[in-house]
Amino acid sequence: MFKIIQFIAKYLKIFFFGIIPFLLLSGGSKGDLESVKVEKGTCSFNIESELSFHLNGKATFSKKIEQDKLGNTIDNLLLSFTTVIGGEKQTLEFIIASRTKVNHGIPVGVYKVKNLDRLLNKFDGVYGFADFGGISELPFFIRSGDVTIIESFSNNVNGKLEVQLENANGESLNVQGSFNADIKL
Whole-structure pTM value: 0.72
> From the CB of residue 18, how many other CB atoms can be counted at a distance below 10 Å?
10
Which residues on neighbouring strands pair with residue 146, listed in sequence order?
112, 162
Q: What is the pLDDT of residue 73?
A: 77
Which range is least confidently modeled, 29-38, 56-65, 73-82, 132-141? 29-38
Q: What is the pLDDT of residue 51?
A: 78
Q: What is the pLDDT of residue 29?
A: 47
| Rounded CA Rg of the chain | 24
* CA-CA-CA-CA dihedral for 42, 164, 49, 60, to nearest 10: -20
Q: Mean pLDDT throughout 94-123?
A: 72
Q: What is the pLDDT of residue 9?
A: 81
Q: Is the pLDDT of residue 54 over 70?
A: yes
Q: Mean pLDDT throughout 84-93?
A: 81
Which range is least confidently modeled, 17-21, 64-68, 96-100? 17-21
Model confidence over 120-142: pLDDT tens digits?
556 677 888 888 877 778 899 89
Question: pLDDT: is 56 or 137 the higher one?
Answer: 56
Q: Is the pLDDT of residue 31 over 70?
A: no
Q: Where are the domains of the chain?
A: 1-30, 42-183
Q: What is the pLDDT of residue 37?
A: 75
Q: What is the pLDDT of residue 62?
A: 92
Question: pLDDT: is 69 or 156 the higher one?
Answer: 156
The DSSP code for 153 is: -
Q: What is the pLDDT of residue 115?
A: 67
Q: What is the pLDDT of residue 150?
A: 93
Q: Is the pLDDT of residue 39 over 70?
A: yes
Spatial separation of the C-alpha atoms in residues 179 and 157, rounded to whole Å = 8
pLDDT above 90 covers what percent of the chain?
26
Q: What is the pLDDT of residue 44?
A: 93
